[in-house]
Structure 1
Amino acid sequence: MQIVVLAALAVVAAAAPQYDSREVVPILKDERQQDEYGRYNLDVQTGNGIVLAQSGSPDGPEGSVIKAGQYSYTAPDGSPVVVKFVADEGGYQPQSDLLPVAPAFPHPIPQFVLDQIAKAAEEDRDRSREDRYD
């Protein structure tokens, strides 16, 4: 049993990721500003082409922070990636030409389908009324 445990431990240790690249990426720009009201601006640029610009303020519901900005970098294939975003009470909302977009619904919903949905909802309401009086 001890040999099995020792062998399993050796396999786990050997399978640990090896990080051969120890490249240090310099931070070329790191500017942060915050005022006494909680508003802030952030500008960061790295030596490998990553750029982040972000601003925020606690103007959301119940003092939640609303953020807006963009980040960019170069993809492994050499193409530029730019993502603009807003983060507010509606959640994180990124926008980019590279993000997939759901296709438009191919056709309008036929009236008979809408009628069936309405009838099913009516039957559910009737059934729940019957259950209350049993």
Structure 2
Amino acid sequence: MIGVIDTEGDCAEWIFPADPGAVRAARAAVRERLRHWGLDVLADVAALLVSELVTNSLRHATGPIGVRLVRPDAVDGVLLVEVSDPLPDPPRERVAELDDESGRGLQLVAHAAHRWGTRPGASGKTVWFELSLP
């Protein structure tokens, strides 16, 4: 991990280097924070989707990868998860063939998340998704 921006309060943010160890580190950080918030029920799916998005960032972008969690509140009841990287191009959802070894990450995000999308940033893009509380 390059740095922890903040893990107090209702938001947690980390920056990971663009290397394969970032996937495991991001998963662990997300799981730990969700357990700390008492949201264990979302930990498995959030960690899986974060690992897919961090993997996409590793494959297609260079530079640090940001991960941000925003704790659900009583009004909206959704966990917001964001993964940012320096590549400005939004990811493309594609249909993977049965024998393809990649290409299913965004399909998984679209299927498992309440909502998801992308937005441009000052120095790249952010892919975000929301998970509803059960």
TM-score between the two structures when normalised by the length of structure 2:
0.28
TM-score (ref. length: structure 1): 0.28
Choose between structure 1 and 2: higher helix proportion: 2
